[in-house]
Amino acid sequence: MTDTDSTGRGDTILAAGCVLWRRAASGGVELALVFRPRWSDWSWPKGKTKKGETARAAALREVREETGHTCRLGSRLPTSRYVDHAGRDKEVRYWAAEATGGTFTPNSEVSELVWLSPDRARARLTYERDTELIPLALKAIGIDPR
């Protein structure tokens, strides 16, 4: 689905997602990664915005659909721009978001959800562009990313 009505940007795919986090028992934080079997990749929960839907609403909906969790949006993170698997321009708006509850159930888009330390998440993520959000998300939630 492309969104030419609200952006005037031609065929750019608009999407939204979150660097979803929760407090770890150890006192640090864990980040949620999803595995998408269609693309055989580990990434942040995200997806296309629907016509008339704000990016914030899309981010909340996509987290719920892909992870089974609700969340509270925090700071806005940088937008990721890249060419997707089909060769289309894609723009994903991200937020740091604290998980507030829920339970994961595998579905047609996402077969696994893992909660990992930031270092382990960095090693597991498939795309470099996704790893770049980790220190920014940590800083946004008040954790020194070093």
**For position 57, which CATH number holds?**
3.90.79.10
What's the domain count of the chain? 1
pLDDT at site 20: 98
pLDDT at site 10: 66
**1 located within any domain:** no
**40 located within any domain:** yes
Could you list the mean pLDDT of each consecutive 10-residue stretch along the chain, which spans 146 residues?
Answer: 43 96 94 97 98 97 98 98 93 98 97 98 98 98 86
- SS3 letters across the chain: CCCCCCCCCCCCEEEEEEEEEEECCCCCEEEEEEEECCCCEEECCEEECCCCCCHHHHHHHHHHHHHCEEEEEEEEEEEEEEECCCCCEEEEEEEEEEEEEECCCCCCCCCEEEEECHHHHHHHCCCHHHHCHHHHHHHHCCCCCC
**6 located within any domain:** no
Token pair belonging to 122: 């960095």
pLDDT at site 17: 98
Domain that holds residue 54: 13-140
Return the residue matching tokens 């892909």. 66
pLDDT at site 146: 74
pLDDT at site 2: 38
**111 located within any domain:** yes
pLDDT at site 6: 39
Determine the residue type at 59: A
pLDDT at site 11: 86
**7 located within any domain:** no
